Structure 1
Amino acid sequence: MSLPNHFPAEIARHYDRDHCNQSAAEMERIVAFLRELAFDDTALEFAAGTGRISIPLAQAGIKVSGIELSSAMCAQLQSKPGGDAITLVQGDMATKRIEGEFSLVFLVFNTLSNLTSFEAQSACFTNAAKHLAKGGHFVVENGLPPYANINTRERLRAFACTEEHWGIDEYDFENQQGISHHLWLDANGVRRMALPFRYISPEECDRMAAAAGMTLTARYADWTRAAYDAEAEKHISVWRKE
């Protein structure tokens, strides 16, 4: 299984500025949530990116490893203060194996959907289970399918419209696919990115987790542990390896 790299140097260089809109309080909540689940102080991040979670988690006392497909994103992580504390391996999170077992594997910021086939997403769950110690947890944060668009068959949905950033999702309902179109404007000009994705429901995630030998233990609407209900815009799910 070979995945395309949609995060070359130009995207990686601006990634934190373009995509990291979480407040300091939100970042603290994410780190605290994950820290609590790392019962033996070990964690593995799938799609470690620029290290915006793995570095503060390591600073909280966790021994963190990461798998990241993009060499440019790896370079960004390793260039940051604290980046040298992360054991980072370049590779595909759906198939790459690294040494050791972990009490926590996590995949956040909708990155599961960057795997654009059922097979790749299923393999990701299997790979997470292979890295987990018995009783360890796999945590996924992912957006929900575009239920309203599916019902109306509306193929386009604007999700960002500011002076600096325009964003439109384009859906292919027949194949459970989409493309996120981004346009950023600043003093240096215009940057564009078209990121394909496969939207996936929490229920489909549960089936993939079960096939990999993991059981759902919790599901929330956000990192404050708000109840997951019909008003939720995403899910944060926790599965336990039996």
Structure 2
Amino acid sequence: MDTEFLAKTPLFAGIREEDLGHLLGCLDASTKHYEKGEVIFRTGEPISRIGLVLEGSVNMVVSLYWGPSRIFGHMEAGDVFGENYAAVPGQLLPGDIVAAQPCRVLFLDLSRIYTVCHHGCRFHHRLIENMLQVSAQKNLRLAERMLYTSGRTIRDRLLSYLSAQASLQGSAHFRIPFNRQELADYLGVERSALSAELGKMKREGLVAFRKNEFTLNGRTRETAI
């Protein structure tokens, strides 16, 4: 287990590497590797364990009764998933948690995170605080996604999402974690319509892109305000 990496994740922030081995034992930790497209947690299942992405990335994908699937969440290395559903006994997952690329996941028993063991580990209290912060940040990201998908037009949604990514990454040149189909699913639009709108924005000089790398110019940022 790469304890140096774990110590840098939000969930284990402030916990010493030498304490992580004991803590992982308390949390009944286990790891598993998944290939791209493999389902980690399946729709309709109750879960009691959460996942922390060690390598690669995963998506939460919801299949609509009518129409295509939608990406409702994306988690990269260091991110946690499944915590809100594992926290409520019997709560069923509304979508699949799927490997977006080959990945390795660390699984932890959530009930053991929120219950201080009989050893009274001082670092366990820090873990509980970290878990609460991680959950709050995930809720904020969900609220942000609602802003991206609230635009009336595809251009509104693209400008909102791309502007936010530029701000988060601190540069007008940045990389997004989605290919075209995934971006369309995330923004809740058709891929062909999204590609057509991106083409128009490129011809108008609002944005330049190659695959999942984008560059915004000043006019794009002003338009998005």
User: Common fold, TM-score beyond 0.5?
Assistant: no
Q: When you count helix as a share of all residues, which structure comes out higher?
A: 2
In the superposition, the TM-score normalised over structure 1's length comes to 0.24
In the superposition, the TM-score normalised over structure 2's length comes to 0.25
Q: Which entry has the higher C-alpha Rg, 1 or 2? A: 2
Which of the pair has the greater relative contact order for Cα pairs under 8 Å at 6+ separation?
Answer: 2
